[in-house]
């Protein structure tokens, strides 16, 4: 049996606009959160989050299933597509702190905010992104969604 090894590769800091309530029914809520920019920085990738993407969330019984799609432009000019799926759940206390603008770390008890990003690009120098599995540990910080991205080895 092998145990996975995680290698920290970069952090995405996505600036978001106010979410838009779309609706659904009494047991779930569908919303969309526009992504208006941001940065990517780390040992294996640096660049910017391009405006125009967004995150769809379906919340059922206190857990939001997330699906974000947006673009990154690496410092070398290559454009990278990202589809980032995950889950968000917070206790009422942690959620209240986040809504007050308090920075809550990703390892805070009562917060579960995890993603599984998938990347696409034909840039040879970034093919490693399209050929590996990744996980993200996410948090809200200073009005941005911050995702520490790890390569699963």
Task: Determine the pLDDT at residue 131.
Answer: 97
Four-CA torsion 142, 52, 33, 141, nearest 10 degrees: -10
pLDDT, one tens digit for every residue, the chain (153 residues) = 889 999 999 999 999 999 999 987 778 999 999 999 999 999 999 999 999 999 999 999 889 999 999 999 999 999 999 999 999 999 999 989 988 888 888 888 999 999 999 999 999 999 999 999 999 999 988 889 999 999 999
Task: Determine the pLDDT at residue 114.
Answer: 97
Q: Give the residue extent of every domain in the chain.
A: 6-152
DSSP of 7-52: EEEEEEEEEE---EE---BTTEEEEEEEEEEEEEESSS--EEEPTT
Task: Determine the pLDDT at residue 25.
Answer: 77
pTM of the model: 0.93
Task: Determine the pLDDT at residue 98.
Answer: 87
Distance CA 49, CA 12 (A): 8
Q: Which CATH number fits domain 6-152: 2.30.30.60, 2.40.160.20, 3.20.20.70, 3.30.56.10?
A: 2.40.160.20
Task: Determine the pLDDT at residue 100.
Answer: 87
Distance CA 109, CA 39 (A): 27
End-to-end CA distance of the chain: 14
Burial environment of residue 96 by CB neighbours within 10 A (0 to 12, 13 to 18, 19 or more): exposed
Q: What 3-state class would DSSP assign to 110?
A: coil
């Amino acid at each position: 049996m092998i145990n996975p090894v995680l290698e920290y590769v970069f952090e995405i800091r996505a600036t978001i606009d106010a979410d838009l309530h779309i609706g659904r029914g009494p047991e779930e809520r569908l919303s969309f959160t526009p992504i208006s920019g941001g940065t990517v920085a780390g040992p294996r990738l640096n660049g910017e989050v391009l405006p125009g993407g967004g995150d769809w969330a379906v919340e059922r019984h206190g857990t939001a299933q997330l699906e974000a799609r947006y673009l990154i432009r690496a410092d070398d000019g290559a454009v990278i597509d990202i589809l980032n799926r995950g889950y968000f759940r917070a206790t009422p206390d942690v959620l209240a702190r986040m809504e007050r603008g308090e920075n809550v770390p990703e390892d805070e008890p009562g917060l579960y905010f995890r993603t599984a990003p998938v990347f696409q690009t034909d840039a040879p120098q970034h093919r490693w992104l399209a050929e590996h599995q990744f996980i993200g540990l996410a948090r809200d910080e200073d009005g941005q969604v911050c995702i520490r991205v790890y390569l699963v080895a």
